[in-house]
Structure 1
Amino acid sequence: MNFSELFRQSLQLCKFSPDGKYLASGVDYRLVIRDVETLQIQQLYSCLDAIQYIEWSGDSQFVLCGMFKRGLVQVWSLEIPEWHCKIDEGSAGLSAATWSPDGRHVLTTADFHLRVTVWSLVTKSVSYIRYPKQCSKGIDFSVGGKYMALAERRDCQDHISIFSCQSWSLVKHFESETDDLAGLQWSPDSRVLCVWDSCLTYRVLLYSLDGRCLARYSAYDLALGVKTLAWSPSSQFLAIGSYDEKLRLLNHVTWKTIATLPHPEVIDSKNVVVYKETETRTPNPPSKKSLSAPTASLFAGQSKYEVQTCPVQVPVSKPALNKANPKLGVGSVQFSHDNKYMFTKNDNMPCVLWVWDVRRVSLCAVLIQTNPIKFVSWDPSRPRLALCTSNNKLYMWSSEGSLSVEVPVEGSFLIHSLSWHPDGDAVLLVGKDQMCVCFLSPSQANASAAHNTSTINSTGDNKPLTISNDNSSNNNTNNSVIVKGSSDILGLPDEARTEVRDMEEGED
């Protein structure tokens, strides 16, 4: 492993591009684009206000920057730095923004979920979709980007609309059987749309593309229900995490339960490997202010994993049941890319990670951390995972074993979240206001990346781009684009149809 130096970032806005060539980070009002292999700055863009959200387009050619306080979205091009776009929602406000799968349309959600707006970067056209519902996951695109499912709320009843992402025309509109729809998600094969109710009602519904309800599932009644949900990459299993601290696996043929996986307080099985993190105690430093960075590292505690002999007592924290959203039940579940493993995290066992063998439908490993687990993610190319616990260490697990690595940087760097490189050759470690890259592949971990000295202050000839409006560039993405939310609301009529018209071009 090789670690890069620390780089500045704001609000943990750091993302690899989908093709794995670039790393985007937001620093106040600046968008910094770095080359992944060398971590040298490739582009530096200045936005109109502090950046609150960034997102890459699917083809890695554009980057979206959301400034929700001002109701603005700015889009930047990597291939054509002269091209830029500004989207202004106007008085409707802005609460969310995302890319369409084709990378040429931007979807924005107005404040209070009044409408969803589809902006075209090529034709400068706009369409409005009314009645979007405010829920945890109200919009989802199918794998391949052919369809978009949207949760709606009309006349105190939940509805679902399915649109074609090519023409943005309505494919199907139907009423949902939920009392209070909490989210929807396509299966990886795009054949089934899973819809689940709020935690007050245990109800999971599975719909086909034409709106037929294929199955209904409810594990129990009169108790808090579904907390999280995940599809397996093969679409053969649907994992449902519940507030009763159990995970249930449904099969894709009968949609019945094939396994119920508990999270007991005592692990007593010979087939389970239990890794427990142990820390070595060090003497207290005489004075933190007078210590240099190399000397301070001598007083830092070291940690390692030790294999425990079953039975093992799992640390449990008692949730506050008199408060909303109690930390109770299975709150995280995710399958590995090859469908061989799956991890779960029980929220009232914050220091414990459970790893399951999907083929045997059994528990294979348990990781017990010293501190509560903050973030876990699977490698997109190999069956291994990485996790962090808001300290200066990176933890990894695979079927061969587990390891703990301290980030060798000067000063204090606490890892709050992480993300994998699309090829699985590197891990992006994100702290409160800094980030660094851990290179796992020897070919990528070159000296220039590990000892990069460039900073965002070395702007050179990079100047803030000037937004202009060229009336002759209606259908050309090589020029500037300005789109403003001043057009009349086209809306989605009661028969659920969308219209598209040319947008009015206003002065900036």
Structure 2
Amino acid sequence: MIRMARLSSQHSVSSPDGAIIATLQQSSLVVSSHTGAPIRTISLPQDFVARCRFVRWFRRGDKSRGGSQEQGNEQVRWPCNRILLADDDTVRVYDVNDTKWSALIERAASNFGRIADVTFGHSPNEFLLFSDFGVKLTIWSLITCRGIEIRDPKYMVHCYSYRPRTGHMAILTRLAAQDNLMLLSPGNHELITSLELPTVDAKEVSWSLDGCWLAIRDAASSGHKVLVYTADGHLFKTYNGAGYAENIGLGVKRLAWSPSNGILALGDYSDNVIILSKNTFSPAATFHHPSTILLPEMNVWQEQLNMSKLRTYAAAPQPATPPTSAALGKTNNPAHGVSIMSFNGDGTLLATKDDSIPTTIWIWSLQSGRPVANLIHHSPVKQVAWHSPQFDLLLIHCAIPDPAVHLWKSTWDAPRIVTLPLERAGSRLEASWLQSPHSNSFNLMITSIHQYATARISKNGDPISEIGNLDFGFRSVGTGAEDMFDEGNSLDLSPIKIAHDDTMELHDSYDDGNDRSGSSFEMGNEMVDDTFHYRRHIKAAG
């Protein structure tokens, strides 16, 4: 069976493992388990709830914080479930497991407009605030009760990445028309090194999942230019398309690290994926996405929709010609380039989507260098997600108003499509995997703005039972909650209140340059680098 529930609140968000649901109501945040049992209710000002724009759980194993392979260790280090809420200039943080702990930052935006984005950092004891127009990034520590300011982050791109396990932070900044890379130590965020980059306009920085390498992608105008640095900030190699069949290409659009073997995949605007070998980062293979698919050695699966709106997969006659972005698009500027690359847990399979044929998913074998499956859908693909390292099970979610989830597994005779019963699905749907205590089944969830449904899927792809009420919230605010950084918002740092048994209040101290840190916090000496000139003074609230 499949379980459905109706959301009466304006906003609900589930924890990353789906075990806890936080629901914003008129004047409170209601936290309950996935079975619906209440855990706690947190009172909130009604006007804050009305203005709330961001709700973030701390996500263990998030790829931006080190990848899924460290998930187990982080659960031991950080057993808490913390949730962050923010409006235009106020941030509140709560711990689900500790009713006596909370944190409040008021006037966080100061005079720089609204909060542009806010998210947890490498640990639940820190979070990042981006200001409007990319003026600055503030890293707030909930242990030392201080904020560290970094000026001119490139917040419109994938500008930061955390090293797995250690938590070292790499961040891209731009000063005086020059890209810079800063490496910060974990915890206190002291500056380790700052490098001027030989880039035109760096677009992405990403740690390898073993923490040995740091890749930086330059703008497409620079061609196939990717810089690979060592962990301590030394330039190891610059890949500029050498050995690539089309030396004059349209540049790199995406990069992705293999989770197990240190391979780097580059998706370009010429509809190709270039695989760079481990350690040498030389081209090892190229995967091309042709507009006409002819794979006589395997089946090409095409989604079918009958008169009863039942969705199934059927083997497509070859050669197959899926619809192109030019045929589907409403503008005269059709999309191109590889926008989705996702390795499975052991790095043996790679799922890709080329925007020029947006309804098609390719699944490649890294061992043979050939595709093992091709799936053509009625609508463009929004996202793909592998289940876990133990199972080569792929979830595919398309941009359709129906609450359908597409599934592929290498051992199945055909892919599966599961439709969940949402009465008011609408166009904004999200699908995700949930953690499951059963090794012989898989839990998944799909939601609309008003409802959510969950199902337990057997190993052969059939729904077998209900698993309870769960929700994975998303928001239709501003430019969209799916973006890593919402545009047109703002931030700053100012008084913070950390509520344990007592509430402490922080006040700004920019001008005198004296370190007057409260002795009870043992903050030590301030950093002297100009980037970290920001200071705080702490006193007990009266």
TM range (shorter): 0.7 to 0.9
Which of the numbers 188, 198, 220 marks the counterpart of 2:209?
188
Residue 74 of structure 1 and its aligned partner are, at CA, apart by 1.0
Does residue 233 of structure 2 align to residue 199 of structure 1? no
In structure 2, what is the equivalent of residue 174 of structure 1?
195
Partners of 1:22 and 1:341 in 2: CA distance: 32
Which of the numbers 224, 233, 254 marks the counterpart of 2:259?
233
In structure 2, what is the equivalent of residue 91 of structure 1?
111
One-letter code aligned to 1:358: L
Partners of 2:332 and 2:233 in 1: CA distance: 34
Q: 1:310 to 1:221 in 2, by over 3 A?
A: closer
Which of the numbers 6, 19, 37 marks the counterpart of 1:40?
37
One-letter code aligned to 1:210: D
Deviation digits for residues 405-452 of structure 1 (CA, Å, limit 9, x no counterpart): 22124454556222222458422312234333233379x987682699
**Over aligned residue pairs, what C-alpha RMSD do you find?**
3.5
SS in 1 for 2:94: strand
In structure 1, what is the equivalent of residue 19 of structure 2?
21
In structure 2, what is the equivalent of residue 377 of structure 1?
385
Residue 26 of structure 1 and its aligned partner are, at CA, apart by 5.1
Q: Give the % identical residues.
A: 22
Which of the numbers 63, 78, 87 marks the counterpart of 2:96?
78
In structure 2, what is the equivalent of residue 130 of structure 1?
151
Q: Are the aligned partners of 2:215 and 2:229 in contact in 1 as well (CA < 8 Å)?
A: yes
Which of the numbers 361, 371, 384 marks the counterpart of 1:353?
361
Of 45-54 and 344-353, more deviation after overlay is shown by 45-54
Structure 1: which 5+ residue stretches go unaligned? Answer: 283-300, 453-469
Q: 1:98 to 1:451 in 2, by over 3 A?
A: closer
Partners of 1:187 and 1:505 in 2: CA distance: 42
The normalised TM-score by structure 1 is: 0.81
Q: 1:328 to 1:9 in 2, by over 3 A?
A: farther
Q: 1:30 to 1:355 in 2, by over 3 A?
A: farther
Partners of 1:9 and 1:338 in 2: CA distance: 40
Map 1:350-499 → 2, pairs under 5 A: 350-381=358-389, 382-389=391-398, 390=400, 391-399=402-410, 400=412, 401-412=414-425, 416-423=429-436, 425-440=442-457, 449=468, 477-480=500-503, 486-488=508-510, 495=529, 498=532
Partners of 1:39 and 1:445 in 2: CA distance: 21
Partners of 1:393 and 1:190 in 2: CA distance: 37
Q: Are the aligned partners of 1:29 and 1:51 in contact in 2 as well (CA < 8 Å)?
A: no
SS in 1 for 2:98: coil
One-letter code aligned to 2:254: T
Q: Are the aligned partners of 1:121 and 1:481 in contact in 2 as well (CA < 8 Å)?
A: no
Map 1:274-313 → 2, pairs under 5 A: 274-282=300-308, 301-313=309-321
Residue 7 of structure 1 and its aligned partner are, at CA, apart by 2.9
Partners of 2:470 and 2:157 in 1: CA distance: 41
Structure 2: which 5+ residue stretches go unaligned? Answer: 61-77, 472-494, 514-525
Residue 193 of structure 1 and its aligned partner are, at CA, apart by 0.7
Residue 273 of structure 1 and its aligned partner are, at CA, apart by 2.4
Deviation digits for residues 229-259 of structure 1 (CA, Å, limit 9, x no counterpart): 1111014211111111111111122211111
Residue 383 of structure 1 and its aligned partner are, at CA, apart by 1.1
Deviation digits for residues 26-76 of structure 1 (CA, Å, limit 9, x no counterpart): 56875443313x1434234336233322222343624343434x2221101
Does residue 170 of structure 2 align to residue 144 of structure 1? no
Partners of 2:354 and 2:388 in 1: CA distance: 23
Map 1:308-319 → 2, pairs under 5 A: 308-318=316-326
SS in 2 for 1:97: strand
One-letter code aligned to 2:416: L
Which of the numbers 252, 270, 275 marks the counterpart of 2:296?
270
Partners of 2:198 and 2:373 in 1: CA distance: 38
One-letter code aligned to 2:251: G
Map 1:338-349 → 2, pairs under 5 A: 338-349=346-357
In structure 2, what is the equivalent of residue 456 of structure 1?
none
The normalised TM-score by structure 2 is: 0.76
In structure 2, what is the equivalent of residue 250 of structure 1?
276
Partners of 1:402 and 1:24 in 2: CA distance: 34
Of 395-404 and 110-119, more deviation after overlay is shown by 110-119
In structure 2, what is the equivalent of residue 163 of structure 1?
184
Q: 1:505 to 1:214 in 2, by over 3 A?
A: same
SS in 2 for 1:427: strand
Which of the numbers 57, 76, 82 marks the counterpart of 1:63?
82
Q: Aligned residue pairs: how many? A: 464
Of 385-394 and 336-345, more deviation after overlay is shown by 385-394
Q: 1:396 to 1:321 in 2, by over 3 A?
A: closer
SS in 1 for 2:221: coil
Residue 402 of structure 1 and its aligned partner are, at CA, apart by 0.9
